[in-house]
Amino acid sequence: MPNMSGEKTESTAPINRFLPCLPAGIGQQYANELGDSTDWILDPFGALPRFSVEMARAGQRVLVTTGNPISRFLMDLEANPPRFADLTALLSDLAAVRKENTRLELHLQSLYLTRCENCKRELPAEAFLWDSKTNTLIGRIYNCTCGSSGEHAATPEDLELAARWMKADKIHRSRALERVSPINDPDRPFAEEALSFYPPRAVYAIGMIINRLEGLSTSEEARRNLSALILFAIDSTNVLWSQHNERPRPRLLTFPAVFRENNVWMAFEAGVKALGSNENAVPLTIWPEQPPESGGVCVYEGPLRELARELKGIPIKGVVSPIPRPNQAFWTLSALWSGWIWGADSVGSFKALLRRRRYDWQWHAEALKSLFTNLSVLIKDETPFIGILAEPEPAFLTAVFLAVQSAGFELNTLDMSPEMDADQLVWKKISVRRTYAENKTSNSGMISPRGQKKPLPLDVNFIRKALRDLLETEHKPMNYLALHAGVLVILAKKGMLTWSDDSVSQIEKIIPQALSSEEFIHLEYRTSHESGIWSLRRWDQQQTLEGL
C-alpha cells in the first residue's frame, strides 16, 4: 500500500471542518495501487466524498454506502462540481429578486448593518461577536472603504438591531422547524435544540432563500446549485464558529466562549468562490445503476447491512475508506440541514440522530463492529481492507482495533504518518477454513462461538513487557500514541483483544497503568499519561553514569 503523502491544505468545500482531514489526491494514490481491473472498490462509509471521487477519477468503479442525505449530496457535488459562471449568474439573479421594494441582496445585508467608527458610514458587518455565557452582543467585524477594519466593540445601534430580531425570531424559527419536524412529531424538541445553534437573523435569511428554492421554476441544475450555496451558507452561519479559533473542528454541539454571527449574504458570496470549479465531471449513479467500466461512483442510499442482501455478481477487489470519528455535531446537524433544505421527507429514518446523545468510544466501537461484521459477509477471503484514520488518538485506535478484530479480520500492517496526522491500517478477512485448521491444532482447545480461539484476559504485566519491548526495539523514546498503537498491534496479532461492553475503557486504563511502573519515565513530566514522550528509566540512568 502507498505511503500516505500529499499537501495538507485546508479545503473550502462545504462542511469540510466536519470531514476527515486528509491530503488532496490521496484517493488517487490508493486507486493506482489497487490496479486497473474492472473489479470494484468498496467505500463502506462515504465519510470523505472527495476521497471516493478521486478514486473514480483515477479510473476505478467505486461503490459507496451512506445513509446520510448530506453526505450523498456532497458526493454529487464532488463528482459534478458546479461551474463558477453558473453560480455567479445564479447569485446575481437571486440578488435581484425583489423583497417588497428592495433587492434581496440589499435586504439581507441590511440585517447586519453597523456604523464605521472612523467615517461614520453605515455598512454591513462581516460578523457580530457574542459572549455565549451572557448571550450578549459584544463586538462586530467590518471592512470599510475608508480603511477602518477589523474587530470593534458593539454599539447601542448594534444592540438595538439584534434585539429587534430576537423579538421577531419565534415565527421564523417555527417555519424552519416545520420543514424538519412537524408540530406533533416526537422529534420536534430535538430539532428545536439543534436549530438553537442558529442566530435569529440566520434563521430568517436562510429561510427566505429556501423559500426561493421551493418556488424556483427552472432547471434541476439550477436548483441543485442553489441547494449547494444554501448548504455552504447554512454551515457558515451557525454559532459553532469561534472568534478565538477554539474547537476549529467541532465534534459536539456546544457554544464557543465567543462565537461569530456571520453575515448570511456574505456566506453566499463566499460559497460561489468555494464551490465554483472547472473540473470535469465523474459519472455518478444511484444503486443499482452502475457507472461505466472506465470509472465512476455508485452510491447505495442506505446502510451496508441492506446492501449485503442485494450485492450479487459485483466483484470487490478492495475495501478502502477513511474511517469516521464519532461526531455528534455533524450527524445532528446533517439531520437538521436535510430537512431544512429539502423538507422532512428527505430525512427519513436518519432523523433519529436528532435525539442521540451518546457518542462515546464504546458506542463507536459497537457501531463499527456491526458494520465490519456485515462487511465480512460481502467480501471474499484475503480481500484487502484498508482503513485510514485521520487525526488519530488512542481511544479512536482502540475502538477500531476492537471492532475489526471482533468482526473476523486480522491486521496485516499499521503505518503511522505524523506528518499527515493519519494512520493507515491494512486488514484481511480471516479464512474460515484456515481458522478451523488453526483451532484444531491449538493446544488450548478454547474455541469461541465465532470459531476463533478465545482471547486471554489482559494482564498489566504483559502490557508492561510489551511497552518495554517496543521501546527496546526502537532504541529511542516514543510518544504515547505510538506506544499505544504498538500495544494494540501486539494484542491483535496474539488474538488478545477481548470484546466486552466496556472493552475500550479497559484498554484505555491498562496501558497508562502499565506505564506508571518505575521502569518508565515521562520525559515531559506532564500530568497525563496519554501524552508526551516516554522512555526507559534505565536509559536515563545509564546516560547519567556515562557523564560522570
Structural domain spans, the chain: 16-79+279-440, 84-275, 460-546
pLDDT above 90 for 338: yes
pLDDT grade for 303, boundaries at 50, 70 and 90: confident
Q: CA-to-CA distance for 457 and 451, rounded, in angstroms?
A: 18
Phi-psi domain of 304 (left: phi exceeds 0; alpha: psi -120 through 50; beta: other)? alpha
Write out pLDDT tens, residues 378-430.
888 888 999 999 999 999 999 999 999 999 999 999 999 988 899 999 999 87
pLDDT score, position 296 = 97
pLDDT grade for 313, boundaries at 50, 70 and 90: confident
CATH architecture of 460-546: Orthogonal Bundle (1.10)
Write out pLDDT tens, residues 9-46.
555 566 899 999 999 999 999 999 998 888 999 999 99
Q: Are 233 and 268 in contact (CB under 8 A)?
A: yes
Least confident of 6-10, 303-307, 449-453: 449-453
Report how far apart, in Å, the C-alpha atoms of 163 and of each of 136, 159, 160, 168, 540 are. Answer: 10, 6, 5, 9, 63
Strand, coil or helix: 172 = helix
Locate cell 469561534: which residue?
242
pLDDT score, position 208 = 94
| H-helix or E-strand spanning residue 479 | strand 478-479
Average pLDDT of the residues of the chain: 89
- What is the mean predicted confidence (pLDDT) over 321-333? 95
- What is the mean predicted confidence (pLDDT) over 489-511? 92
Strand ranges (E), 352-431: 384-390, 409-417, 422-429
pLDDT grade for 436, boundaries at 50, 70 and 90: very low
Q: CA-to-CA distance for 242 and 405, rounded, in angstroms?
A: 39
| 275 vs 438, more confident | 275
| H-helix or E-strand spanning residue 400 | helix 394-406
Amino acid identity, residue 157? E
- What is the mean predicted confidence (pLDDT) over 470-487? 95
pLDDT above 90 for 456: no
pLDDT grade for 519, boundaries at 50, 70 and 90: very high
Q: CA-to-CA distance for 390 and 400, rounded, in angstroms?
A: 12
pLDDT score, position 545 = 38
| 200 vs 351, more confident | 200
Least confident of 142-151, 180-189, 225-234: 180-189
Rg (CA), the chain: 26
Strand, coil or helix: 382 = coil
pLDDT score, position 525 = 67
Write out pLDDT tens, residues 130-166.
999 999 999 999 999 999 999 999 999 999 999 999 9
pLDDT above 50 for 123: yes
- What is the mean predicted confidence (pLDDT) over 59-76? 96
pLDDT cut 70: percent of the chain above it: 90
pLDDT above 50 for 112: yes
CATH architecture of 16-79+279-440: 3-Layer(aba) Sandwich (3.40)
User: Cell digits for 472?
Assistant: 527496546
pLDDT score, position 439 = 44
pLDDT score, position 347 = 86
pLDDT score, position 432 = 55
pLDDT above 70 for 445: no
Least confident of 231-245, 249-263, 312-326, 531-545: 531-545
pLDDT score, position 200 = 98
Report DSSP letters for 52-67, one per residue: HHHHHHTT-EEEEE--
